[in-house]
Structure 1
């Protein structure tokens, strides 16, 4: 077809791509931290005696899980300024990732909590622990151990989803690649390279999660 591969443009732009990788990891870690906080808080609220609070959590989960991430991030970035709330692209990306991941984390963590034997909870209450201590000491850690593979898989998916944040010009790997491609017109080389970089990021995250699980949850080595 007459197309000659030229990866020299990618080699020249490698420092920018590596900075983009670090930015992607930073966005993902921030989004995951927010998602985990939302997930735990949502599970606690879902178990509340207040019907309105339970309804609020259910509505949030259904809203996020049944709308596209692109629409969610566009709403935060383009719609909120009309009511006086303007966020920069990075903050918007972290907030969107956190809210999106949090909705899924609520359901994943809730499934883990429901798997805990009620007898253990009753025993904790009988020992004089208040509900917060029971949740933290008896429920949360065993639940996290049970749902750890699902939760980490969701977090890796959230990392890959961060590429959509390039739609609002948030600084991350895909946005860097788009700028390089628009300057060089070497689409194949650029996107072939970032495909490999995303694979490397995913592999590093899976390795890190695996090490953490062996250390803190005593999962067997594969």
Structure 2
């Protein structure tokens, strides 16, 4: 093998990689936050909403979970301009990520809600709590505790899926890597370093999620 590994060309463009990495963090965190809110509202509507709304949510979930994320991204970026809604690449990427993660999040949170014993809800009603208070105080936190590992795993997949957004020239890590590779022709070195950066991002997000669990979701120790 006569190939000579040369990483200096990659590290000369380190600022571009860091800019792409920060953009990936922003894009992923924003999609996670918005997607979580949409998923909670969708799960609440699916478990307690009127039948037509439940049917609409079911159709949305099946549509998103049974089509590739790349196609969803293309529909939003290339398809919406047909009806007069034109989005920038980063805006389309954020919307596609939210649409995608929300569909999975609704089902995950719904499973958590349905794991709550009905007697606890009845007790809340007996205490005179309103439906929203019952959901917020009795249902939501235990449900999140039950499904937190699955939900955070889905969020990590969301962050990794953000690399697909480079296909529409979104300003994220993979797009930055593609640009550097096109200038330096150091494919192995560029993508080897980017692989390490994605691994570091995954570890970072796992650490953040573990901190959130310890601070807000972990049950107090029994006495």
Report if TM-score (shorter chain) is over 0.5.
yes
Structure 1 runs (4+) deviating above 6 angstroms are none
1:109 paired residue number: 109
Residue 23, structure 1, aligned to residue 14, structure 2: no
Give distance in 2, aligned partners of 1:211 and 1:84. 43
Give distance in 2, aligned partners of 1:72 and 1:179. 24
Give distance in 1, aligned partners of 2:6 and 2:19. 22
Query: Structure 2 vs 1, CA of residues 71 and 132 (structure 1 numbering), >3 Å: closer, same or farther?
Result: same
Unaligned runs of 5+ in 2: none
Where do 1:172-183 residues align within 5 Å?
A: 172-183=172-183
Give distance in 2, aligned partners of 1:12 and 1:59. 48
1:76 paired residue number: 76
Give the Å deviation of 1:173. Answer: 0.1
Give the Å deviation of 1:137. Answer: 0.9
Q: Aligned-residue CA RMSD in angstroms?
A: 1.1
Query: Structure 2 vs 1, CA of residues 35 and 126 (structure 1 numbering), >3 Å: closer, same or farther?
Result: same
Give the Å deviation of 1:219. Answer: 6.7
Unaligned runs of 5+ in 1: none
Deviations 1:47-101 (A, max 9, x none): 2341110000000000000000000000000011001010111111111000100
Give distance in 1, aligned partners of 2:77 and 2:27. 16
Where do 1:95-174 residues align within 5 Å?
A: 95-174=95-174
The TM-score normalised by the length of structure 1 is 0.97
Give distance in 2, aligned partners of 1:81 and 1:185. 34
The TM-score normalised by the length of structure 2 is 0.96
Give distance in 1, aligned partners of 2:177 and 2:148. 32
Give distance in 2, aligned partners of 1:51 and 1:139. 21
